């Protein structure tokens, strides 16, 4: 990725080790529940951010972005574009996102998802998928506001039931 993507309010730019303090501080119970499966230790956050930088250097399969706000590009959360996953059909990408508590309820996740769709289209992806647990109504609302339609409900190998929202990325 050559330059950050922005809509003038939200910017998405690669996540990496320099985001350690803000990412660690931004975690709360809700983010840990829906996105990470539990709170991360400082060592786990450091390892994750180092892995993000490695994936950027290697061109994927995970393209982890920081959701950045304002001219100071304050880290407000994350959005991931995941390709080549076993549960995806050819041409599909999975998007995952989360905002830190002070930034929720402002439409920023929707804006970040739209920017992530633009990035995924540039990778050659034809369809974006957002998978979320049925009880995660806030994530489902972001998907709907970003133009995704409910596609199906699937049981994951671990037994977790997920709603799949789909959006065609072709022009």
**165 compared with 24, residue with greater pLDDT:** 165
- C-alpha distances in angstroms, 46 versus 20, 34, 75? 6, 20, 16
Looking at the chain, the whole-number percentage of residues with pLDDT higher than 70 is 94
Mean pLDDT (whole number) for 32-55:
79
Q: For 137-148, write each residue's pLDDT tens digit.
A: 999 999 999 999
Q: Residue 30 — pLDDT band, cuts 50, 70, 90?
A: confident
Q: Residue 42 — pLDDT band, cuts 50, 70, 90?
A: confident
Residue 3 has what pLDDT? 62
Q: For 88-144, write each residue's pLDDT tens digit.
A: 999 999 999 999 999 999 999 999 999 999 999 999 999 999 999 999 999 999 999
Is 26 in contact with 75 (CB distance < 8 Å)? yes
Residue 33: beta bridge partners? none
3-state secondary structure of 19: helix
The angle formed by the CA atoms of residues 140, 146 and 149, to the nearest 5 degrees, is 60
Looking at the chain, the whole-number percentage of residues with pLDDT higher than 90 is 69
Of the candidates 106, 107, 171, 118, the residue with the CA atom closest to the CA atom of residue 144: 107
Domains and CATH numbers, the chain: 5-123 (3.40.630.30)
Q: What is the dihedral of CA 11, 98, 125, 10, to 10 degrees?
A: -10
What span, in angstroms and rounded, lies between the C-alpha atoms of 34 and 50? 22
């Amino acid at each position: 990725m050559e330059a950050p993507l922005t809509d003038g309010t939200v910017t998405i730019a690669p996540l990496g080790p320099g985001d350690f303090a803000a990412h660690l501080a931004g975690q709360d119970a809700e983010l840990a529940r829906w996105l990470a499966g539990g709170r991360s230790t400082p060592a786990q956050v450091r390892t994750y951010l180092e892995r993000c930088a490695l994936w950027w250097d290697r061109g994927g399969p995970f393209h982890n972005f920081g959701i950045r706000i304002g001219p100071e590009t304050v880290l407000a959360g994350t959005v991931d574009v995941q390709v080549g996953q076993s549960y995806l059909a050819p041409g599909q990408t999975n998007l995952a996102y989360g905002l830190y508590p002070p930034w929720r309820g402002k439409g920023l996740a929707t804006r970040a998802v739209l920017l992530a769709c633009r990035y995924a289209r540039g990778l050659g992806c034809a369809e974006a998928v957002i998978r979320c647990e049925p009880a995660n109504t806030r994530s489902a609302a972001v998907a709907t506001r970003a133009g995704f339609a409910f596609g199906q409900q699937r049981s994951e190998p671990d037994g977790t039931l997920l709603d799949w929202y789909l959006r065609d990325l072709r022009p």
